[in-house]
Chain A
Amino acid sequence: MDIVQGFLSSTAFSMLSWGNLVMILVGLCFISLAILKEFEPLLLLPIGFGCIVGNIPSVAGMQIGVYDPGSVLSFIYFGVSKGIFPPLIFLGIGAMTDFSTMLSNPKLVLLGAAAQVGIFLTLIGALYLGFTPQEAASIGIIGGADGPTAIFLSAKLAPQLLGAIAIAAYSYMALVPVIQPPIMRLLTSRAERLIRMPALRQVSKRERIIFPIGAFLITALIAPGSITLIGMLCFGNLLKESMVTERLAATARSALIDIVTILLGFSVGASTQAQTFLRPQSLLIFGLGALSFAVATAGGVLFAKFMNLFLTDKINPLIGAAGVSAVPDSARVVQIVGRKEDPTNHLLMHAMGPNVAGVIGSAVAAGILWSVLAN
């Protein structure tokens, strides 16, 4: 009888808290969104299942959870907590990104810079609410709409908030089609949404090969903190564009990025144990993250309108919203919103320019914040 009682007390049921149940429901919600609505399924499904796994309580003394030293999950989570996975994802992104649209219209790069305003305004907001500068910077970077960058910076500056920031960043990336369109419509007139942009010029092979080297040198020299992320992004792109390392590029953009995404998503999900995740600060992080993302979207759109004051060939301000670095979701949203006004106006390729510039911009912003606040 004692053995049966001992066994029953060692089951997870006896240790399950209401917080664990809430987080398991959150995990189920993520899985449902991924499968039923196809919202970022590659991310939300691993994160959702990780949430469930991470919230099954284990017996004291057993090394199972992400935060238990020596457990299998802690070794997988090592890639997140030490910032190893994000640069590998950037390598894959570089190997799958075609920078031609950005190279054919360089002024659109500035929209990728303007959208980073959300990061820095949210930093001020988070400071006001009492977060430390390191925590505030990590929360602000959610506005870059770049999950790997958010994880990279919070792993360096505020590891205690990593779970909440990662979940917030990926949730808002998944919600790009929901959050951005109302802001885009609010800040633009119908006439502006109807603006047609001239066809993009052909970009030579040589330009595409030289660009990742030049862009890396410029950004790394200005913001050395961004070397890891931008370096891997540009390296991946050089593998692709050089045409002599096709096998490496193919691995980076398929097998490697898929493996890292699985490990990152699952272990981030498993890190959301109720005891560490369900705190009032997490709610504030979610609120500030949404604010950051909205401000970033508005910043891009408003800066596009500002640029139009000086340009003879006007740009459609909707593409400013793609300055956040959710590639290619933001560009797709721009295309959808643009086509609602004029079904024959295709903005996707134009929006890809600011979109990939946003990836560089948020990585540079993360590098600056890291170098300023690391000590």
Chain B
Amino acid sequence: MNMVSGLDTGVHNIINGSGIPIALTGMGVVFVALLLVSLFIALLPRALRFLEQRFPEALATTSEATVTLATTQGTDEVMIAAVVAAVAHSTSTGQRG
């Protein structure tokens, strides 16, 4: 008996509480889960490359959409920058209307 806490201490608690099997199984399952996540991450780029070769059209469409979106956004940004520059220029040179 632990006089400080009033708890019953001893190795028998570990045995009765199945401490060792729980700890070993728990640690094992955590390792297996993260090992599988690790393998999944390692294989993901290869799987994507394989799919790209196998189904080039489907993935190309996605890529194209992304590129188109990026280009459109880029164009907008360029236009906004051009308008700001034009306004700044007209302000500095005193132009109106």
Interface residues of A, Cβ cutoff 8 Å to B = 102-103, 106-107, 109-110, 112-113, 116-117, 119-121, 123-124, 127-133, 136-137, 204-207, 210-211, 214-215, 218-219, 222-223, 280-281, 283-284, 357, 360-361, 364-365, 368-369, 372-373
Contacts and interface: CB of A to CB of B under 8 A. Distances in A.
Q: Is chain B's binding surface mostly helix, strand, loop or mixed?
A: helix
Nearest to B35: A110
Interface string B8-46: 111101100111101111110111111111111110110
A214 B29 contact: no
Contact of B26 (A130, A206, A360, A365): A365
A80 B63 CA distance: 44
B85 interface: no
Contacts of A136: 17, 19
Given A129-B2, A281-B5, A368-B30, 6 more contacts: A113-B31, A129-B7, A130-B8, A205-B66, A360-B33, A360-B34
Contacts of A369: 22, 26
A117 B45 contact: no
Contacts of B24: 120
Interface of B: 2, 4-11, 13-14, 17-20, 22-27, 29-42, 44-45, 48, 66
Contacts of B17: 127, 132-133, 136
A117 B31 CA distance: 10
A130 B37 contact: no
Contacts of A219: 33, 37
A118 to B, nearest CB: 10
B36 A222 contact: yes
Given A106-B42, A116-B27, A128-B14, A133 B37 contact: no
Contacts of A137: 22
B45 to A, nearest CB: 6
Contacts of B29: 222-223, 364, 368
B8 A214 contact: no
Contact of A214 (B27, B31, B34, B44): B44
A349 to B, nearest CB: 16
A218 B33 contact: yes
A260 to B, nearest CB: 26
22 contacts: A106-B37, A106-B41, A109-B37, A109-B41, A110-B34, A110-B35, A113-B31, A120-B22, A120-B27, A124-B23, A128-B10, A130-B8, A133-B18, A133-B19, A136-B19, A206-B48, A207-B41, A211-B41, A357-B34, A365-B26, A365-B30, A373-B22
B34 A361 contact: yes
Contacts of A124: 14, 19-20, 23
A87 to B, nearest CB: 18
Contact of A123 (B4, B22, B36, B40): B22
B19 to A, nearest CB: 4
A327 to B, nearest CB: 16
A109 B34 contact: yes
B30 A113 contact: yes
B40 A214 contact: yes
B48 A130 contact: no
Contact of B23 (A123, A205, A214): A123
A364 B44 contact: no
Contact of A120 (B6, B11, B26): B26
A119 B25 CA distance: 13
A128 B13 contact: yes
Nearest to A109: B38
Contacts of B32: 222
A369 B25 CA distance: 10
